[in-house]
A = this chain, B = another copy of it.
Amino acid sequence: MKIIEASQKYRIEMEKVLKKDRFDHTLGVAYTAANMAFVFDEDIEKAVIAGMLHDCAKCIPHSEQIKICKKYGVELTDIEMRNQKLIHAKAGMCLARHKYDIDDPYILDAIRYHTTGRPDMTKLDKIIFTADFIEPNRKMLKDMDVIRKEALSDLDRAVYHILKNSLDYLGSQDDEMDPMTIKTYEYYAKIVNTDN
């Protein structure tokens, strides 16, 4: 598929199922991921598709997201059942596979892990995880200007920086933290510190 065909196909699909702000966020993620693909020699079409679809389940009620995961045999953890806004990543992977016909596991994994990350992420995982955080429509969180530069020059450092700030932020909130986020942070802290 030409990249403009992928851009159009999933843009049109996402505008049908996402609320307005979420749709513009999605465009921001898809094109930020494409720009990161320029820098880090990733497949641009895969970056656009994963970016366009990463939140495809976000505007569906949590109860429906749970049903989608059950239907396709994707298990949910106790923490996901207690903090249900985490579920959209797994439900999104299911919809990407079965509603939007994406059969590339590399794209599906990037959607599945875009919220928590995972240790030893693929390049596309890291791009979508990072693009989701930095895209231009996001409000200016702590260190955003620095992280945005890192995202286009040093991908592991950007991933580490986002995880560090997210853990600091989540530590001050009531939401329960997903242990995968902590594992991912520990993995990238080691990589970034080894690099120094």
Interfacial chain B residues near A92, Cβ < 8 Å: none
What residues of chain B lie closer than 8 Å to A136, measured between beta carbons? 3, 7, 31, 34-35, 37-38, 44, 48
Q: Say yes or no: A24 contacts B39, CB within 8 Å.
A: no
Interface residues of A in 1-42 (CB under 8 A from B): 2-4, 7-8, 11, 20-21, 24-25, 27-28, 30-32, 34-35, 37-39
Q: Is the CB of A11 within 8 A of B24?
A: yes
Known: A44-B136, A152-B39. A31 touches B27 (CB 8 A): yes
Interface size counted on chain A using CB atoms at 8 A: 33
A18 CB to closest chain B CB (Å) equals 13
Residues from chain B with a CB closer than 8 A to the CB of A148 are 38-39
- A61 CB to closest chain B CB, in angstroms? 24
Docked Cα-Cα span, A21 to B32, in Å, equals 19
Is A94 among interface residues, defined by CB-CB distance under 8 A? Answer: no
Interface of A is mostly: helix
* Known contacts A28-B31, A31-B27; is-contact A3 B38 (Cβ 8 Å): no
Output the least CB separation between A150 and chain B (Å): 10
A137 partner, pick from B7, B35, B139, beta carbons under 8 A: B7
Chain B residues with CB under 8 A of A155: none
- Residues of the B chain whose Cβ atoms lie less than 8 Å from the Cβ of A89: none
Chain B residue nearest to A134 (CB atoms) is: B38
* A142 located at the interface, meaning its Cβ lies under 8 Å from any Cβ of chain B in the complex: no
Known: A31-B32, A37-B136, A38-B145. 4 other contacts (CB 8 A): A8-B24, A35-B136, A39-B153, A48-B136
A positions within 8 Å CB-CB of B = 2-4, 7-8, 11, 20-21, 24-25, 27-28, 30-32, 34-35, 37-39, 44, 48, 134-137, 139, 145, 148-149, 151-153
